[in-house]
Structure 1
Amino acid sequence: MDKLQPLLRPACYDDGKRPSFAAAYARAARRYGFEPGRNAGFAKRNNVVVKVKSHADKDTAHEVPAESIQNGALEYVVPVKIGTPGVTLNLDFDTGSSDLWVWSSEFAKASRYSGHTIYNPAKSSTAKKASGTWNISYGDGSSASGNVYTDTVTVGDVKIPGQSVELAEKLSSSFLQDGGNDGLLGLAWPSINTVSPKPVATPVENMISKSIIDPPVFTVKLGRGTEPGFYSFGYIDTSVTSNPITYTDVDNSQGFWQVPSTSWSLGGETKTREGNTTILDTGTTLLLVSDDVVDELYGAIPGAKYDNEQGGYTFPTDAAVPDVEFAVGDTLYKVNMKDIAFGDAGDGRSFGGIQSRGDLDFDIFGDIFLKSVYVVFNQGEKKVGLAQRDD
């Protein structure tokens, strides 16, 4: 099968403007609902996302507006055609969820919001109404819900007939103010699909069960800044890097791409993290790890400090940053220096792209980590393969 390389929009940038650190961190807190550890700048409390205002007194906090969490183009989007003759929507490809939902004509107010392409099943000769409803809720109370159709979905040169498509009838304010995408395509395991009374097959599950792709894999190379990236389905592009792809078994019991990560390295010194695991999540921007790792990392960067106002660690932009590596399985992968400095924090300082996971008992390897590797998600064999990228 020919490789598929649709261009992606850079994460956390808005047409070249500086990335939104607060939005990236708050989005992760909302997504996983973690409470703060020593260094978590945001947390979910009482069903809202809050910013920790004082590092010493974490009971002092104020709410982060729900609509700000999605602002700033916090995702990569990929063009996907739905229907016959079809309309092309820009969808957020997300390995941390399992729903394919879109802005649709079922949402009565859709025309009031510019910047979105709308899917209308009445204009597709292959659309069919299906049973079931769906409802996605987030920690701050934002949500999206609606009904279900089946239609032909085309991603690059991969065509999936009879794919379930979840049509938004209701969208809360955070989605309405996110002009970056026309919906979401979930790439996690089918068990966490939200369609009720019975979950529906995800696009990748259908690609595999209908023998549309072989091998049963999808891969991702995330671009940096304006650099193009791509997803591929049923094809492994060995030209991405000269380094070998190393495979690790996946624990999908929670529906995520969860793998062991029992060591890390700082400045060439490897350190053990017994029993630690991580989730590979293209829907999270930052790299989130335990407080002890965060403290040791920034303790090795001259001038680094936890910034109460910013809600995370910052460091001098011209500081010498030691090499940082994190393991997936038995292999360490280096995080590109360009990405450890996530964005401009003002006064000659940069936001750290590696921050606290709060009270979670697993790490989240988001785009800050994933941009340094080429990843093969082997859904057929429950494995992931990673190769260090040359750039």
Structure 2
Amino acid sequence: MYGAQEHPSALTLPSSGNDLEHEQGSQQGTEHEDSASITPHHHFNLQEGLQHLASKFLMRPKKNQNWKPNGPMDYARSAKKWAIQPTAYTAYYCQDNCLFHRNLLDSEMGPGKLFLDRSKASGPPKGGARLTANDIQNDLEYVVPVTIGTPPQVVHLDFDTGSADLWVWSTQLQVSAANKKGHGIYNPRHSSSSKQGAGLQWDITYGDGSGARGNVFFDTVRFNQIVIKGQAVEAATYLDATFSGEHGSDGLLGLAFPQLNTVKPQRQKTPMEHLIEQQLVQSPIFTVSLDKYGDQESFYTFGYIDNTVLPKGNQIGYVDIDSHNGFWEFPSSQIRIGNRTVQRPKGNTAIADTGTTLILLDDNAVDEIYGRIKGARMDRSGWILPKNSKPPNMAFAVGRNFYTISGEDLKFADAGKGMSFGSIQSRGQNKQDIFGDVFLKRVYAVFDQTPGHPRLGLGQRTLKD
């Protein structure tokens, strides 16, 4: 809690006796730490006496005009990325290196009821239906223009806080000309600054066995006026059908922690690592502001916090990150559903991921949420709710602070027959929640990658639509 007040920007869990620390940053304004972090913030100064001026920059993502919210397909993409294992409420799951659609009974049953596989009700077990690339959301909502090489080659990348590779479509990729149409293709032979990494290979594999792989080149990468020399660029030689069917995206730029990088036999530094180690940014941070209805106000900043984003009086609260798994992972012990507080499993954590659209929670939390909405039920593709329903606002604990999405945010996409597909779905047997774009659009997020002291800062944005 900030002072003696409780701000709408960050509702606070009851204190155990330790007040939150306060600090005044030259860039950041007044902010407050999570009580679990009682040491002073590590100021960014890896070396005394800079030989060049550290900078800061802003990048605006482009709205992918091909993207449309599709509840089942977005959930299938999430299940694929996070290798979701089945529970009673998982319509999509991974098993034996395949992605399946669980063939649930057509049902009028609501929250708290047990669902049966259709196969178990109608005869011998048949398992779920295996999905193909056409059943998965292949389009990404936001992509960011980045240039690679000399002279610069423009590619549009998915900025993903849930991974740590920078990979791109390349001329080494054996796909049809039709699939390459509309894509920015990296050609290392046309770059005078490109040098192949001898013996280096990369390979990303997802829970359904799909993935991408290729060779590694070291080249110049430009973020606006900032130039990173010698950045590992992972040039795809193979993409499975999920990736080769994507429209609008030419690859991915990972913003998670470096241990997730897949290059072998030696992992390579991420762009954020280079920005920090080469002191190309004023502070070791990047921030994310995603606009709810378009790309006009969406942006990423590197090296600074934009103090104009939050409503007056709303502040940024910080929580320490546990990065040992490579993710932006933090404790999340409660949910508030309207005026009801729901305790999460002991030690529950969540991951902030710009590369996931939905919010994924454990089955008990999902049951609590939809159990308060008349007419909500589980259908064959996931949880749905009536379009004319009035769901309560929901607040999620991030450390000791709460951040809120509106009840209307729960209505993710049209599900037909007067129903909406829910933006909150089951995480299956996974141990962490996933807070995707539905959550991130309601906050201003600060990803602080200070070596030895990573933190996540969140400030509540307006709930008015």
User: Could you state the TM-score of these two structures normalised by the residue count of structure 1?
Assistant: 0.94
> Counterpart in 2 of 1:85?
151
1:40 aligns with 2:106: no
SS of structure 1 residue aligned to 2:62: coil
Bigger drift between 105-114 and 117-126 goes to 105-114
> Counterpart in 1 of 2:58?
4
Deviations 1:318-355 (A, max 9, x none): 11111111111111110133421101111111111011
> Counterpart in 2 of 1:238?
307
Q: Which amino acid aligns with 1:319?
A: S
> Counterpart in 2 of 1:52?
102
Q: Please tell me whether the aligned partners of residues 100 and 131 of structure 2 are also in contact (alpha carbons under 8 angstroms).
A: yes
> Counterpart in 2 of 1:30?
80
Distance 1:136 1:255 in 2: 15
CA positional deviation for 1:2: 4.5
CA positional deviation for 1:7: 2.7
CA positional deviation for 1:5: 3.0
CA positional deviation for 1:245: 0.6
CA positional deviation for 1:227: 4.0
Among 248, 267, 287, which residue is 2:338 paired with? 267
Among 167, 170, 179, which residue is 2:247 paired with? 179
CA positional deviation for 1:74: 3.2
Q: Please tell me whether the aligned partners of residues 306 and 313 of structure 1 are also in contact (alpha carbons under 8 angstroms).
A: yes
Q: Which amino acid aligns with 2:421?
A: F
CA positional deviation for 1:110: 5.8
1:142 aligns with 2:210: yes
Query: CA separation of 1:161/1:338 partners in 2, compared to 1, >3 Å: closer, same or farther?
Result: farther
Q: Which amino acid aligns with 1:262?
A: S
SS of structure 2 residue aligned to 1:253: coil
Distance 1:353 1:145 in 2: 31
Distance 2:316 2:342 in 1: 23
Among 434, 440, 454, which residue is 1:370 paired with? 440
CA positional deviation for 1:254: 0.7
Deviations 1:146-188 (A, max 9, x none): 1111111112332211111000111111111112310000111
> Counterpart in 2 of 1:212?
280
Bigger drift between 352-361 and 47-56 goes to 47-56
Deviations 1:261-293 (A, max 9, x none): 011101122232231100111111110001111
> Counterpart in 1 of 2:220?
152
Within-5 A mapping of 1:334-373: 334-373=404-443
Q: Please tell me whether the aligned partners of residues 67 and 178 of structure 1 are also in contact (alpha carbons under 8 angstroms).
A: no
Distance 1:68 1:212 in 2: 42
Distance 1:327 1:92 in 2: 27
Distance 1:45 1:364 in 2: 20
Q: Please tell me whether the aligned partners of residues 142 and 172 of structure 1 are also in contact (alpha carbons under 8 angstroms).
A: yes
Bigger drift between 194-203 and 111-120 goes to 111-120
Matched positions, count: 384
Q: Which amino acid aligns with 1:8?
A: K
SS of structure 1 residue aligned to 2:88: coil
Distance 2:317 2:226 in 1: 26
Bigger drift between 57-66 and 21-30 goes to 57-66
Bigger drift between 45-54 and 335-344 goes to 335-344
CA positional deviation for 1:142: 1.7
SS of structure 1 residue aligned to 2:58: coil
Distance 1:375 1:256 in 2: 15
Runs of 4+ in 1 over 4 A off after TM superposition: none
User: Could you state the TM-score of these two structures normalised by the residue count of structure 2?
Assistant: 0.80
Q: Please tell me whether the aligned partners of residues 59 and 300 of structure 2 are also in contact (alpha carbons under 8 angstroms).
A: yes
Q: Which amino acid aligns with 2:104?
A: S
Q: Which amino acid aligns with 2:66?
A: D
1:388 aligns with 2:460: yes
What is the aligned-residue identity percentage? Answer: 45
Distance 2:248 2:408 in 1: 24
Distance 1:146 1:198 in 2: 14
Q: Which amino acid aligns with 2:218?
A: T
Distance 1:177 1:264 in 2: 37
Query: CA separation of 1:352/1:124 partners in 2, compared to 1, >3 Å: closer, same or farther?
Result: same
Distance 2:295 2:170 in 1: 31
Q: Which amino acid aligns with 1:62?
A: A
1:295 aligns with 2:364: no
Rg comparison, structure with higher value? 2
> Counterpart in 2 of 1:101?
167
Deviations 1:181-225 (A, max 9, x none): 100001110001000000000000100011001210011011223
> Counterpart in 2 of 1:124?
191
Distance 2:196 2:331 in 1: 41
Distance 1:126 1:337 in 2: 51
SS of structure 2 residue aligned to 1:179: coil
> Counterpart in 1 of 2:23?
none
Query: CA separation of 1:323/1:112 partners in 2, compared to 1, >3 Å: closer, same or farther?
Result: closer
SS of structure 2 residue aligned to 1:4: strand
Query: CA separation of 1:158/1:110 partners in 2, compared to 1, >3 Å: closer, same or farther?
Result: farther
Distance 2:397 2:385 in 1: 24
Distance 2:219 2:379 in 1: 49
CA positional deviation for 1:139: 2.1
SS of structure 2 residue aligned to 1:235: coil
